[in-house]
């Protein structure tokens, strides 16, 4: 069941997502060659704690960290470790919090110093596809309009959208209905309504869309070893169109 949020609930979700945005902005400044991925996790947890927010991922289905750090061929759910980031890497940072009973969730992919033109283009197209999907998140549209908009941008650029992992509704729970695939057909799926809060998150592979999960049970990688990028915003559907909640004003 899709839960529509009241204005005061959207305000709480807005506050939660602004904390997420602040954390990601701080991490953006920290990401550079020579940094260990566990240091990013520690910083994210510290900032959230200072804001009175609880990291949403830590303990979720047993996940042991506050942050997901996905490097190069890692699609999502990369686990922080002693790994040292290197020049030329691309790194996806996915973070969420719970604040005053409402969840926020967002993700960015960043370059480490100078990256290849191919890597830069992959990130640009992935972020572009996110905003194309957000543009379709309007009352009266269908869920498939979001999915198709993402897929069209990605595949026109010669990339593929991951099919095993999708976006989701969000609110008092981290994952709510509906699921939001990054592939689909216009005009299909449920009708979008004012009051929905959606986490739209394209995961885009340079090569084939197939993925596999490593033995740690969490880390998702491209099956062909190609690069992957991930961008996410939590948005509210309003009478005035989509509002991106997970950005700093």
> Would the CA dihedral through 139, 179, 57, 230 be positive or negative?
negative
In the prediction, which pLDDT does 222 show?
98
In the prediction, which pLDDT does 249 show?
63
Residue stretches of the chain with pLDDT short of 70: 249
CA distance 28 to 224: 28
In the prediction, which pLDDT does 91 show?
98
CA distance 108 to 21: 10
The answer to whether the CB of 39 falls within 8 A of the CB of 93 is no
The predicted-structure confidence for 95-125, as pLDDT tens digits, reads as follows: 999 999 999 999 999 999 999 999 999 999 9
Strand order in the sheet with 220-222: 74-76, 220-222, 211-213
- Domains of the chain and CATH, by start: 7-244 (3.90.230.10)
The answer to whether the CB of 17 falls within 8 A of the CB of 246 is yes
């Amino acid at each position: 069941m899709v839960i529509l949020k009241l204005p005061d609930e959207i305000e709480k979700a807005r506050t939660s997502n602004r904390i997420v945005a602040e954390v990601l902005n701080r991490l953006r400044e920290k990401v550079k060659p020579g940094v260990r991925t566990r240091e990013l996790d520690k910083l994210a947890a510290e900032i959230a704690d200072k804001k009175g927010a609880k990291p949403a991922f830590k303990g979720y289905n047993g996940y042991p960290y506050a942050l997901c750090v996905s490097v190069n061929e890692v699609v999502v759910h990369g686990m922080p470790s002693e790994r040292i980031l290197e020049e030329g890497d691309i790194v996806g940072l996915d973070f969420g919090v719970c604040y005053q009973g409402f969840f926020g969730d967002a993700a960015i992919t960043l370059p480490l110093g100078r990256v290849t033109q191919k890597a830069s283009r992959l990130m640009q197209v992935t972020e572009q596809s996110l905003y194309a999907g957000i543009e379709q998140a309007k009352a009266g549209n269908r869920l498939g309009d979001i999915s198709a908009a993402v897929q069209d941008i990605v595949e026109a650029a010669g990339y593929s959208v991951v099919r095993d992992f999708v976006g989701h509704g969000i609110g008092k729970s981290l994952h709510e209905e509906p699921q939001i695939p990054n592939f689909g057909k216009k005009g299909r799926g449920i009708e979008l309504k004012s009051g929905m809060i959606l986490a739209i998150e394209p995961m885009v592979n340079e090569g084939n869309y197939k993925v596999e999960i490593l033995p740690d049970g969490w880390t998702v990688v491209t099956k062909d070893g190609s690069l992957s990028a991930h961008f996410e915003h939590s948005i509210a559907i309003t009478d005035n169109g989509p509002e991106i909640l997970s950005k700093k004003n």
